[in-house]
């Protein structure tokens, strides 16, 4: 039996039992497992890690654990320049596209409301979800650590919050998305883009009061759903504004 000393930093401690958080602890092992296997064996998905230091030297996931190794594991860095070190995460995706597991349906609706390409089905199997994330270059959002540990998943995030509103704020902050918002750009039902459409083209689809009081309409390019700025729009606009204000306040405070 061999032993290495591990220390996890910042939000990576969320995945550890209380007795291992924010402190160094011993990890016992046989043979020479990869550092990736050793990290995930302790409950931390590889998608959450950005930098690994072994005995003061940055290493990648192929590093094989040795007896008496001193291992420090860090999460994603947002403001610190570590370009000269070995980053274990792949480069950020050129386009921010999400795929959301079956337990985060309301979060997917909110992300679409804010204009983000978000794939969701309420009957996704993990195999299908992971394969789609890989094939379409999507970021997996889930509460399932096991899903994020799959080698085929290169970009992902374990959502901590339990309430959809807080989940949305968490994701917007984690991926620094405030400057990329395009509210009401997508269909909240099917995720396809919306297009402006003349009232005359959708007149027969409207209820009498909608015909009378509204003149601007948008149609989903996917499912054909019709949208207009009714009372539902006003409440969603207020929701969006409150989220944006909350995010700006957090950034000003340095949270």
Is the pLDDT at 247 greater than 90, yes or no?
no
- Whether 126 maps to a domain, the answer reads yes
- Does residue 127 sit in the same domain as residue 179? yes
CATH label of the domain that carries residue 30: 3.10.20.30
Domain of 46? 2-75
Q: Please tell me whether residues 182 and 102 are part of one structural domain.
A: yes
Alpha carbon distance 160, 141 (integer Å): 10
- pLDDT per position as a tens digit, 18-29: 999 999 999 999
Tell which of 133, 154, 186 closes a domain: 186
Contacts of 125 (CB under 8 A, 6+ apart): none
Q: Do 125 and 176 lie in a common domain?
A: yes
Model pTM?
0.83
Contact by Cβ (8 Å): 167, 107: yes
Asked if residue 4 has pLDDT above 80, the reply is yes
Residues 127 and 61 in one domain: no
Q: Are residues 110 and 181 in the same domain?
A: yes
- How many distinct structural domains can be found in the chain? 2
Q: What is the pLDDT of residues 75-99, one digit of tens each?
A: 876 444 545 566 566 555 557 899 9
The whole-number average pLDDT for the span 3-30 is: 96
């Amino acid at each position: 039996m061999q032993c290495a000393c591990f220390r996890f930093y910042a939000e990576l401690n969320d995945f550890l039992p209380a007795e291992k958080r924010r402190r160094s602890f011993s990890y016992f092992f046989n043979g020479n497992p990869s550092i990736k296997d050793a990290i995930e064996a302790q409950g931390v998905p590889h998608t959450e890690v950005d930098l690994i230091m072994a005995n003061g030297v940055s290493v990648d996931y192929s590093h094989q654990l040795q007896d008496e190794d001193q291992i420090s594991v860090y999460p994603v860095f947002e403001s610190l320049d570590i370009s000269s070190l070995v980053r274990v995460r792949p480069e950020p995706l050129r386009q921010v596209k999400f795929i959301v597991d079956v337990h985060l349906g309301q979060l997917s609706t909110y992300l679409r409301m804010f204009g983000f390409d978000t794939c969701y089905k309420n009957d996704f199997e993990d195999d299908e979800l992971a394969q789609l994330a890989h094939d379409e270059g999507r970021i997996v959002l889930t509460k399932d650590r096991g899903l994020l540990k799959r080698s085929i998943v290169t970009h992902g995030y374990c959502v901590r919050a339990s309430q959809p509103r807080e989940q949305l704020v968490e994701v917007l902050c984690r991926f620094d998305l405030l400057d990329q918002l395009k509210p009401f750009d997508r269909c909240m039902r099917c995720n396809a883009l919306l297009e402006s459409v003349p009232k005359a083209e959708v007149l027969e689809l409207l209820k009498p009061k909608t015909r009378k009081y509204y003149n601007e309409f948008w149609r989903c390019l996917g499912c054909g759903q019709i949208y207009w700025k009714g009372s539902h729009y006003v409440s969603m606009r207020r929701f969006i504004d409150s989220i944006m204000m909350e995010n700006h306040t957090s950034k000003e405070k340095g949270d």
